[in-house]
Amino acid sequence: MAVLFDGVAFGLQLSLLAVGLTMIYGLGGVLNLAHGQFAAATAIIGARLIEVGFPVALSVISAVAISAGLAMAVDATLMRPVYRLHGEDRVLSSLLVTLGLAFAIDGLLIRFAPFTLLNLAVPGPAFVLLGVPMRRGVVVAALVAAVVLGVLVLVLRVSRWGRAVRSIIQDEEGATLCGIDPSRMRRSVFALSGALAGLVAVTQGLTAPIGATSGRDLTVLALIVTVVGGLGRVSGALVAGVLLGVVHAVASHTIGAVLTFVLLLLVAIAVILLRPSGIVRSAV
Amino acid sequence: MAARRSEAWPLAVTVTALVGLPTLVGGSRYLMTLAISMLVVAGYAVAFNLVFGRTGQLFLCLGALAGVAAYGSVLLADVAGVPLPAAIAVGVACSGGIGGLFSWVAVRRRLGVIFLGIVTLAFSLVFTNLLVGGRALTGGETGLLVDATAGSWLRDRVPAYYVLLAVLVGYLLLDRWLERSWLGWAFRALKDDPVAAELAGVDVVRAKVVAGALGSAMLGLMGALFAVHDGFLSPTGFDFGEIDVRVLVVLAVGGVGSSLGPVVGAVVVTAVDELLRPLGQLRLTVYGALLIVVFLRFRQGLVPAARGLGRRFGARRARATP
C-alpha cells in the first residue's frame, strides 16, 4: 500500500513532466530534448535565489517564471528556423537542435553550480493516510501536481485558449482557417511547458534534493512517459505518468533502481514497436 | 560524378598526412594517445555517416554499438577463452546484427525518425545501465582490465595507430565503393524521395538494413580494436554523452553525407577538444552551441559551407580581374 501511494505521488509528477513535452509535440511537431534541463535550470535558479536570501515561495515562483520565459525565448529564437521545415525534416532538426540545447544547459549548470541543490523538504511528522505514514514533502508534491494537472485539463476543456490548442493538435490547417494563429499558440504552449518543467523541479525538491545533473534523467523520464502515453496526447501522458509511477515504485522496491530504469526503457521500446500511438485510445 | 572525383585528391592527401603523422609526433606518448583517439572518432563518424548521412536513419546509440563489440569481444576472450580475433569477429557481428535489427524494425514498422531516435536512445541507456548493474561480469563503473592483449604489440601506440589507420582507410574505401555500387544509387534516391525511390524499384528495406548493419559493425570493430589496444573498458567510454555527442559534433563540423568530412571533422574536433580542456564541463556547452548553430545555419556541415564560401569568393575575384 505504501509503495502504491509512493508510486502514485511520483507518477503525478511524471505526468506533469510529460504533459508539457507532449503538448509541444502535438502542437508544433517538434520534440524538446532539453525538457528536463529546464527543470534542472529551475532547480538551480531557485536554490540560488534562496541562498541569496529571498523568501522560499518567492524564489520558487520566480524560478518557475524564469523557466517559462526561457522556454518562450527558445521558441522565439532557436525553434523559428525549425518551424520553417516540414514533416520528418522538422522533427529531425528539432531533435538535433534541442539535443544541442540540452548539452549547452547541462554544461553551464554543471560548471557553475555543481553542488547547488534545491531542497524544499517540509519539516514535521509524517502524514498518516489510510494507516500508511507518508512524508509531508511527498504528499504536498503530489497535491501540487494533482491540482495543477486538474486545472490544466479543465482549462484545455473549457477555455477558449484550450479549445484553440486542441483544435491545432487535431488539425492545424483547419484551425488556421478558423482564425487561430498557430505560431502564437505554439509560443504560449512552449512557455507553459517550460513552467510545467520548472514546477516538476519544485515538486521534486519537496521530495528529495535536486541538482544540476538531474536534467538528463528527467528528459529521459519525460520521453518515456510521453511515448508510452502516445506522442501528442495529453490524456495519454496523464495516464501513462501515473501508471509508470506505480511501476517505478513497485519495481524499485523489488528489483533495484538500475533494473527499474532498464525496465521503464524497455516498456517505452515495446510501446513504440507494438502501439506507436500510445496506450490510450483517444483523439487528443 | 565530378563532385566525387574532386574528393579523391583531398582524400589521398589526408591519408598521406595521417600515415606520416607518427614520424613527426611518434616520440610523444601524449600526442600519440591523442592521435589514436582521433582515428577512433573518425572511424565512428565514417560509420555514422553511412547510417545517418547516407540513409537518414538517426541512430542515437553509437557508443552502445561500439560498446557491444568491445565488451563482447573482451569478455569472450578473457572469460570464455576464445581466441582474440574470433572474439572480435563475434563481437562485431553482434553490433552489426543489433544495428541491422534496428533498421529492419524501423522500416518494417514504418517508424519515423523520432521513434527510431527514441528506441536507439533507450537502447543506449539500457546498455549503459546493464554495464553498471552487471558488476560481477563487467566490473561496473570501475571498469574492466583487458588481459587478452597484455604485453602484446597492440598495446604499443605506434603499431596500434597504424592498425587503426588501416581500418579507417578501409572504411573510407568501403564508403567510396558503396557510393558507386547499386547501394549508392539507392541511397541517393532514398535521400531525394523515399516514396519515389520505392516506386522506382529501389529495395528500400535492403538498402537501409545494409547501411544500418554495416555502419554498426564498423562502429563495433573500431570500438573493439580501441578497447584491446587501450587495455581498459568502462561504461563512460561508451556513454551517450561521451561518444554520440562527439560524433554528432564531428559530423556537424565535417559535413553530413560527404566522404572526407568525418575525417576532417575528427581532426578539427580532437584539436579543439584539447584546446578547450581548461574549460572543463563548459566544453559540453560549446559543443551544444556548435550543434545548434551548425544544424540551423549550415545544414550540410561547416567544411562544405566554408568550401562553398571560398568558391564564391574565388569566383568573385575571378570576375573582378578580367
pLDDT at position B321 over 60: no
Classify each residue of A14-40 as buried b or exposed e, where b means 16 or more C-beta atoms within 10 Å of its C-beta. bbbbbbbbbbbbbbbbbbbbbbbbbbb
Chain A contact for B105, CB < 8 A? yes
Confidence band of A44 (pLDDT split at 50, 70, 90): very high
**Residue A268 CB partners (closer than 8 Å, separation 6+):** A223, A224, A227, A228, B118, B122
Fold of A2-274: ABC transporter involved in vitamin B12 uptake, BtuC (1.10.3470)
pLDDT at B3: 46
Give me the half-sphere count of Cα atoms (radius 13 Å) on the Cβ side of residue A85. Answer: 19
Strand partners for A133: A128
Looking at chain B, the number of H-run helices and the number of E-run strands are 15, 2
Higher-pLDDT residue of B259, B115: B115
pLDDT at position B1 over 50: no
pLDDT at B6: 57
Average pLDDT over residues B33-60: 92
| pLDDT-wise least confident of A42-56, A130-144, B126-140, B155-169 | A130-144
Confidence band of A221 (pLDDT split at 50, 70, 90): very high
From residue B31, give the alpha-carbon distance in Å to each of A46, B27, B169, B230: 44, 8, 21, 15
Rounded to a whole number, what is the distance in Å from the CA of A129 to chain B's nearest CA? 35
pLDDT at position A33 over 50: yes
B59 is in which domain, residue-wise? 2-274+282-320
- Whether A103 sits inside 8 A of B245 (CB atoms) is yes
φ/ψ of residue B21, rounded to 5: -55, -45
Rounded to a whole number, what is the distance in Å from the CA of A41 to chain B's nearest CA? 14
Q: Which residue has the cell 538517426?
A: B58
Interface test with A, best of B281, B287, B293 (most A CBs within 10 A): B281
Domain of B295: which CATH number?
1.10.3470
Chain B contact for A266, CB < 8 A? yes
Q: Among A93, A220, A231, select the one facing B295 at the smallest CB separation.
A: A93
| pLDDT-wise least confident of A10-19, A63-72, A93-102, A268-277 | A268-277
Cβ-based contacts of B115 with chain A (< 8 Å):
227, 272, 276
Confidence band of B316 (pLDDT split at 50, 70, 90): low
Asked whether the beta carbons of B220 and B97 are under 8 A apart, the reply is no
B-chain residue closest to A29, CA distance:
B114
Asked whether the beta carbons of A136 and A127 are under 8 A apart, the reply is yes
Interface TM-score (ipTM) > 0.85: yes
Rounded to a whole number, what is the distance in Å from the CA of B113 to chain A's nearest CA? 7
Q: ∠B157-B163-B166 over CA atoms, to 5°?
A: 135
Asked whether the beta carbons of B216 and B98 are under 8 A apart, the reply is yes
In 3D, which of B32, B229, B82 has the Cα closest to residue B149? B229
B73 vs B69: CA distance, rounded Å: 6
Asked whether the beta carbons of A27 and A165 are under 8 A apart, the reply is yes
B253 vs B304: CA distance, rounded Å: 9
Rounded to a whole number, what is the distance in Å from the CA of B171 to chain A's nearest CA? 25
3-state secondary structure B126-191: HHHHHHHHCHHHHCHHHCEECCCCCCCHHHCHHHHHHHHHHHHHHHHHHHHHHHHCHHHHHHHHHH
pLDDT at position B65 over 90: yes
pLDDT at position A179 over 90: no
Total domains, chain B: 1
Cβ-based contacts of B55 with chain A (< 8 Å):
none
| pLDDT-wise least confident of A248-262, B146-160, B276-290 | B146-160
pLDDT at A27: 87
- Whether A220 sits inside 8 A of B125 (CB atoms) is yes
Average pLDDT over residues A131-158: 88
B-chain residue closest to A79, CA distance:
B296
B296 vs A55: CA distance, rounded Å: 41
pLDDT in tens, B201-221: 888 888 999 999 999 999 999
Confidence band of B2 (pLDDT split at 50, 70, 90): very low
pLDDT in tens, A78-117: 988 888 888 788 888 899 999 999 999 999 998 898 888 8
CB atoms within 10 A of CB B34: 15
Instruction: Please give the interface size between A and B, counted as residue pairs whose CB atoms are below 8 Å apart.
Output: 121
Query: Judging by DSSP bridges, how do beta strands A117-118 and A210-211 pair with one another?
Result: antiparallel
Cβ-based contacts of A82 with chain B (< 8 Å):
296
- Whether A104 sits inside 8 A of B288 (CB atoms) is yes
Asked whether the CA dihedral A146, A151, A152, A158 is positive or negative, the reply is positive
Chain B contact for A83, CB < 8 A? no
Chain A contact for B125, CB < 8 A? yes
Rounded to a whole number, what is the distance in Å from the CA of A146 to chain B's nearest CA? 28
| Cell output for B201 | 524499384
| pLDDT-wise least confident of A30-44, A127-141, B236-250 | A127-141
pLDDT at B299: 61
| pLDDT-wise least confident of A16-25, B125-134, B185-194, B307-316 | B307-316
Average pLDDT over residues A225-238: 90
In 3D, which of A31, A277, A227 has the Cα closest to residue B110? A277
Asked whether the beta carbons of A247 and A13 are under 8 A apart, the reply is no
At residue B26, the 3 state secondary structure works out as coil
Cβ-based contacts of A40 with chain B (< 8 Å):
none
| pLDDT-wise least confident of A59-63, A111-115, B61-65 | A111-115
DSSP labels, A172-214: HHHHHHTT--HHHHHHHHHHHHHHHHHHHHHHHHHHS-EETTH
Average pLDDT over residues A51-79: 92
B69 vs B57: CA distance, rounded Å: 21
Rounded to a whole number, what is the distance in Å from the CA of B253 to chain A's nearest CA? 14
Mean pLDDT of chain B: 86
